[in-house]
Amino acid sequence: MSVATSLIEDQPARVAPTETLYQFEETPLLARQSRQESNARSYPRRIPLALKRARGLYVEDVEGRTFIDCLAGAGTLALGHNHPVVIEAIQQVLSDELPLHTLDLTTPVKDQFVQDLFGLLPPALAAEAKIQFCGPTGTDAVEAALKLVRTATGRSTVLSFQGGYHGMSQGALSLMGSLGPKKPLGALLSSGVQFMPYPYDYRCPFGLGGTQGIKANLNYLENLLNDPEAGVQLPAAVIVEVVQGEGGVIPADLDWLRGLRRITEKAGVALIVDEIQSGFARTGKMFAFEHAGITPDVVVMSKAIGGSLPLAVVIYRDWLDTWLPGAHAGTFRGNQMAMAAGSAVMRYLVEHRVCEHAAAMGERLTEHLRILQRDFPQMGDIRGRGLMLGVELVDPAGARDALGHPPAFARLAPLVQRECLKRGLILELGGRHGAVVRFLPPLVITSAEIDRVAEIFGRALAAATTTL
């Protein structure tokens, strides 16, 4: 066990969920929520909980039940809920009477935040880095990145990837692979997005898989950018998630990423890496692109960067800094509590070697899942990096695809999710047909807690498969 693990495990453990199965009846509070909140609400439909308190990996609902939270604010809570260093940082801002809202004026807290963030960047990027503070959602950082690269290159189109997720505003939505949220809108406001196949090895879009699939993918991309008859304008940028999150926890092959960087650089096309979900030690490196040793032109960041509070930024290389003052304004770009909390998280990640811990815990969970896979042929593919893991559920009785893999088991996934919830484990689904069970716990999860998560998941899978 690494030093990093034992440091984190020194934290007091909280009670684990009970052995009794939780039941989910509609309480008055939940009924009022469904009556009054929009039809577009999402998580409460599958996770019908009213939460009261939270600490670390655990949340407690108003019924007094405890749950292990392996959703963690969709990957936001790197240190879990209400971590003492985060709470202390927020309290310090309050007791110092710092203005809570400063537009994009600077403060000592903001300056410290920038120094802390630049200190985490690989030196090649830090040396030429500029930062733009955005409105406090990941989506707004993506919007800013689009404007940045379009202005700097004088080109208007962008390449995105099938299965990609970059947010829900109209520009970011144009980059999304999933058709569901786009269909009702008809033509999107932002046109000019060309979709490319992502290196999804288990369902290789070229029907090849392995190194052959990667080679075919890169050839296709290189040809698209260089063939004068490709039918596609040279884009301003390519935007990519190094590990697709919402698309089904699909880690890009590292050679593919290096190839992508080489091809884009040669073509003079900016490479935007979306680290909104994968950044800040989540994958076992501070940023997921570091696994491939590449230097992107633009990195979009949000979620964990605000230490539980809303914050989003774009980091980019200075050759792109040609946009004009006010090119990406916005009122809420000066959240001091988020910056202080974000600084506290960044320092903790370094001091406690959380990257190593996340990598070790990810391996531990993967080992558990591989053992379970021997008994459950429904666990088609186990994949991810660090603590960004997923299991693609498949129907072993279904017709196999070109690579010999059974089809996604969309009906099983929500049953597994519900059986987990009954046993006190919150997990989310993602991927094509919602058939990927996702593990996105706080990075400070201990090895005992990993074992517990795997044990609950195994029991839930057994229960779900028998109810089919």
Q: Which is nearer to ligand PLP, 60 or 274 (CB)?
A: 274
CB of 203 to ligand PLP, least distance (A): 19
How many residues bind to ligand PLP according to rule CB under 6 A? 15
308 binds ligand PLP (CB under 6 A): no
143 binds ligand PLP (CB under 6 A): no
Q: Which is nearer to ligand PLP, 117 or 412 (CB)?
A: 117
- Strand partners of residue 439: 389
137 binds ligand PLP (CB under 6 A): yes
> CB-based contacts of 276: which residues, under 8 Å, 6+ apart?
138, 141, 142, 166, 167, 300, 301, 302, 303, 312
Q: Which is nearer to ligand PLP, 4 or 273 (CB)?
A: 273
Q: How far apart are CA 410 and CA 136, in angstroms?
A: 33
Site mask for ligand PLP (CB under 6 A), range 213-252, x = bound: ----------------------------x---xx------
The binder of ligand PLP chosen from 66, 160, 277, 295 (CB under 6 A): 277
Q: Which is nearer to ligand PLP, 98 or 193 (CB)?
A: 193
CB atoms within 10 A of CB 265: 14
Q: What is the C-alpha end-to-end distance of the chain, expressed in Å? A: 40
> What CA dihedral angle connects 294, 296, 299 and 303, to 10 degrees?
-20
276 binds ligand PLP (CB under 6 A): yes
CB 431 within 8 A of CB 177: no
Q: Of residues 164-223, which lie at the interface with ligand PLP (CB under 6 A)? A: 165-167
Q: How is residue 413 annotated by DSSP? A: H
From residue 129, how far is each of 28, 116, 119, 125 by CA, in Å? 51, 13, 11, 6
Q: Which is nearer to ligand PLP, 75 or 362 (CB)?
A: 75
The binder of ligand PLP chosen from 50, 74, 410, 463 (CB under 6 A): 74
CB of 394 to ligand PLP, least distance (A): 24
Q: Of residues 388-407, which lie at the interface with ligand PLP (CB under 6 A)? A: none
The binder of ligand PLP chosen from 139, 295, 335, 343 (CB under 6 A): 139
Tokens of 296: 């992107």
The binder of ligand PLP chosen from 69, 274, 381, 395 (CB under 6 A): 274
CB of 424 to ligand PLP, least distance (A): 24
CB 220 within 8 A of CB 197: yes
**Strand, helix or coil for residue 51:** strand
138 binds ligand PLP (CB under 6 A): yes
Q: Which is nearer to ligand PLP, 139 or 417 (CB)?
A: 139
> CB-based contacts of 46: which residues, under 8 Å, 6+ apart?
414, 417, 418, 428, 429
Q: Which is nearer to ligand PLP, 221 or 273 (CB)?
A: 273
CB atoms within 10 A of CB 105: 10
Q: How is residue 242 annotated by DSSP? A: S
Token pair 């666990």 in the structure block, residue? 379
Q: Which is nearer to ligand PLP, 76 or 465 (CB)?
A: 76
Token pair 């202390």 in the structure block, residue? 88
Residues that bind ligand PLP (CB under 6 A): 74, 137-139, 142, 165-167, 241, 245-246, 274, 276-277, 302
